Structure 1
Amino acid sequence: MTLKRRLYIILIFILLINISGICYGNSAEPPSILIIVPNAPGDLEISIGTDNTYTKAKEIDKLVEKHYIFYSREMEGASNNTINVKTNGDSYELDFENPASRYQNIYTLNLKSKTLSLGKSTLRSIVLVSLRIIITLIIEGIVFYLFGFRDRKSWKIFILINLLTQGALNIWINGLFPMQSYLFIGLIALEILIVIVESITLVSRVQEHNKIRRFLFVLSANFLSLVVGGYILTVLPY
Structure 2
Amino acid sequence: MSRSGRLLSLVELLRAKRRPVTAGQLAQELAVSQRTIYRDIAELMAQGTPIEGSAGLGYVIKSGYFLPPLMFDREEIEAIMLGLRYVDQRGDQVLVQAAATALAKMQAVLPDRAIAALQTPLAMPGPAAPAYPANTVALSFLRQVIRDQYRIDIVYTDAEGKQSRRWVWPLQIGFMDSARVLAAWCELRSAFRTFRTDRIVAAHQGTPYPGRRAELMRGLHEHLALAAEQQATDRN
Q: TM-score, normalised by structure 1?
A: 0.24
- Work out which of the two has the higher radius of gyration on C-alpha atoms and give 1 or 2: 2
- Higher RCO by CA contacts (8 Å cutoff, separation 6 or greater): 1
